[in-house]
Amino acid sequence: SAGRLKMNPDAANKAADVYERKAEEVDDLAQAALKLVRVEGLGAYGSAQELAAKFGRKATNGSTGAADLLGKLRDELIRKADLYRQAARDYVAADEQIGQDLQRGSQA
């Protein structure tokens, strides 16, 4: 109701673990894409050098390069993992608060 995600802490932590593992995999892909900036072995001809430069631009071309896009995806996956971890903490805190309120109510 307050714009927060609420779910069972175990399920939230498991979901966060998955997002974190996927973020690591995407980071590995981003690192591999960065290696495409320098493509070797296409030869010394001008056309080969142009082709190598095109590969480099596709790897890191500001907001549209493969490495850059993969980095943004990694960041989003980490943000989602953090959201699930926070949901787990909120659930536990709410559960503890309800328990305290019930205990105070039964003592009154």
pLDDT tens column, 46-80: 887 788 777 777 777 767 788 889 999 999 999 99
- Residue 108 within any structural domain of the chain: no
- Residue 33 within any structural domain of the chain: yes
User: What does pTM read for this prediction?
Assistant: 0.70
Residues 4 and 15: their CA atoms lie apart, in Å, by 16
Q: What's residue 1's pLDDT?
A: 46
- Residue 1 within any structural domain of the chain: no
- Residue 4 within any structural domain of the chain: no
- Residue 51 within any structural domain of the chain: yes
Average pLDDT over residues 9-15: 93
The total number of structural domains in the chain stands at 1
21 vs 104, higher pLDDT: 21
Q: What's residue 91's pLDDT?
A: 85
- Residue 47 within any structural domain of the chain: yes
Q: Characterize 67-104 residue by residue with b for buried, 16 or more Cβ atoms within 10 angstroms of its Cβ, and e for exposed.
A: bbebbebbeebbebbeebbebbebbeeeeeeeeeeeee
Amino acid at 88: A
Q: What's residue 43's pLDDT?
A: 72
pLDDT-based confidence at residue 18 (cuts at 50, 70, 90): very high
Phi-psi region of 106 (alpha: psi -120 to 50; beta: other; left: phi over 0): alpha
Give the range of the structural domain holding residue 70, as residue numbers without chain letter: 9-102
Reference 91, options 17, 16, 13, 8; nearest CA is 8
- Residue 50 within any structural domain of the chain: yes
Question: What's the whole-number average pLDDT of the chain?
Answer: 83
Residues 86 and 106: their CA atoms lie apart, in Å, by 30
- Residue 38 within any structural domain of the chain: yes
